[in-house]
Amino acid sequence: IKYWTNPGTAARMITRILTDESDTTGVYYDEKGRPMRGSAQVHDPAFNARVVAETRALLGTVHV
């Protein structure tokens, strides 16, 4: 990622994201590490249900 080319900057950004104490979930970040709104598709309940169903179906095929 363009703004993460410096290891120190990347570490600060990752640490800030991982230690954020807010109760928000599903936050997307732009290339500068700022929170941003996700696409309209990820806010669509029908799309989310389809992703969950397809993921469960895929995981159901895994044999351990």
Q: What is the pTM of this model?
A: 0.51
Reported as half-sphere exposure (CB side, CA atoms, 13 A), residue 40 has a value of 0
Residues composing the chain: 64
pLDDT at 52: 95
pLDDT at 49: 95
pLDDT at 2: 61
Residues lower than pLDDT 70 in the chain: 1-5
Q: Classify residue 2 by its DSSP letter.
A: G
Instruction: State how far the Cα of 49 lies from the Cα of 64, in Å rounded to an integer.
Output: 26
Backbone angles phi, psi at 49, to 5 degrees: -65, -40
pLDDT at 50: 96
